[in-house]
Structure 1
């Protein structure tokens, strides 16, 4: 089961900047993943290598539309295994369509900045306590609108965004649980 909140999880690196964002959503798995092999890098690779084909189609349509108004396109492609194996998870590194802005042992902060809005995505493995290897996965999105166009742009994007994140988290948990 997936739950949704409109706040940043308390253990997230994004929490300190929560007041600066205009939009926040956080989708969290209630199912747990277990095992030390499910570290944040492994979970990120699962996320980057998966996703239904209809998401690629939506992103391709979006890219064609935003190109007309001079916004950045996603340069979308599913990460190949070789590319995933070469990831170092260093700050500033491109992870698929995202740039890595921050990291901790259990979290990656990815995102992109553009003239209309900046966004950050937190991929967080939330461990209830240090004595367990069980973790819940949370995907949190935080958006800062840079102008009126950013707010207008996000109106039709928001429902698709929520659908995509919910679907990807469900698939991510399934893959991580084996």
Structure 2
């Protein structure tokens, strides 16, 4: 597999994404694209689950620190959100609520008192035979108050590292094949 399949590139949020206009004002908006190799699945939910299942161990450690810091402010912790998936299973993917799905995109996110965010896993290029196919992971955030703006200013650099690392890790493990469901 060529190294370009391991490189996550910063791109604009795709205009066809359901999150492109999720909020009238966004305090953070970014997107990263990675090429999917021939034969890889383009099922956005399967790919999202795969990405979250193959994150680098340091990301879990970072989430533990984040949870310890935000719990005192009454914000939702990853541990609490993960327990929601375990309790219900339906309508959640890892720590995220599923907002919508389509053949090319899954939109995940969460709303809290400090901010609301949406995350998109979008597969592009699958309608054109022979075209390069890409997975684009986009995030948009709308802060509800000063705490949200402070929070996003502190975590934005880590967020970008986590997204890029997650895409690279999934690529290195090897994307699920188109025959998997």
1:133 Cα deviation after fit: 7.5
Corresponding residue number in structure 1 for 2:15? 10
Give, in whole Å, the separation in 1 of the partners of 2:72 and 2:81: 21
Conserved 8 A contact 1:36-1:133: no
- The TM-score with structure 1 as length reference comes to 0.82
1:177 Cα deviation after fit: 7.0
Conserved 8 A contact 1:33-1:173: no
Spell out the pairing of 1:6-155 with structure 2 (5 A cutoff). 7-17=12-22, 19-29=24-34, 31-35=35-39, 37-75=41-79, 93-127=91-125, 129-132=127-130, 134-155=132-153
Give, in whole Å, the separation in 1 of the partners of 2:22 and 2:45: 24
Moved over 6 A (4+): none
Runs (5+) with no aligned partner, structure 1: none
Runs (5+) with no aligned partner, structure 2: 1-6
Corresponding residue number in structure 1 for 2:4? none
- What's the RMSD between the two structures over aligned residues? 2.7
Give, in whole Å, the separation in 1 of the partners of 2:21 and 2:159: 24
Conserved 8 A contact 2:41-2:176: no
Give, in whole Å, the separation in 2 of the partners of 1:123 and 1:169: 11
Give, in whole Å, the separation in 1 of the partners of 2:40 and 2:131: 6
1:150 Cα deviation after fit: 0.4
